[in-house]
Amino acid sequence: MSNGSAPTAVLTALDRAQDAFEMVGRGRTAFEDGISADEDWKTQLTKACRLLEVVDTLQSQDGYYTAVIEVCFGAIERSIEAYALAMTNDTLQDFQDHQFSYERAHQIGLFEQETAEAMRDLYSENRTESYYGGVRPTEEQAEAMTDLASAVHQFAVSQTREGGVCLCD
């Protein structure tokens, strides 16, 4: 039982994490391979590519359905954001709300309203339940989300004017 103070290991790890995000005292920073730093839309697109690669890795390990579903939702959002940033005057700050990506997908013409609303509803009803709820994710859900994330990503990439950025090609 805690006496009200945080354990030393937690405080040490918290300090290290804060320093890592502030990039304090790290010398030469080692960034993730493949993530573009050229423009925000390219960064989001290549993050989506890397997330889809993680999904493939998790799927090959069998049984990580919660993680697959979470990563798929992230890949979908990054793909939509990449398209929006490439094709409009949107900024990354516009996408602080997870559901905004789905709403914006229709507003900018990436998806029909019905499709965008269905994806938003899928997120709001199922992502929240699979993550926070007592429901145990299934293999079928993980596979369906993998297919959806890949399809959204490929479609967003195909609709973006500038090619040659996607790592999935």
Determine the structural domain holding residue 114 and report its residue range. Answer: 36-159
Q: Nearest 5°: CA angle at 127, between 122 and 130? A: 130
- The answer to whether residue 139 sits within a structural domain is yes
Q: What is the tens place of the pLDDT at every residue in 8-24?
A: 998 888 888 888 878 76
> Looking at residue 34, what is its pLDDT?
84
| Helix axes of 139-159 and 113-122: crossing angle, nearest 10 degrees | 140
In a domain, 18, yes or no: no
Whether 118 is in a domain gets the answer: yes
Residue 80 CB neighbours (<10 A): 28
In a domain, 89, yes or no: yes
Q: What pTM does this model have?
A: 0.86
Tell whether 5 is covered by a domain: no
Residue 165 lies in a domain: no
Residue 146 in any domain: the answer is yes
**Which CATH number do you get for residue 71?**
1.20.120
The encoded tokens of residue 159 equal: 């609709």
57-68 as b/e, with b when 16 or more CB fall inside 10 Å? ebbeeeebbbbb
Q: Which pLDDT value is given to residue 169?
A: 64
* Total of domains in the chain: 1
Percentage of residues of the chain with pLDDT beyond 70: 90
Q: Is 151 part of any domain?
A: yes
39-72: pLDDT as tens digits:
999 999 999 999 999 999 999 998 899 999 999 9
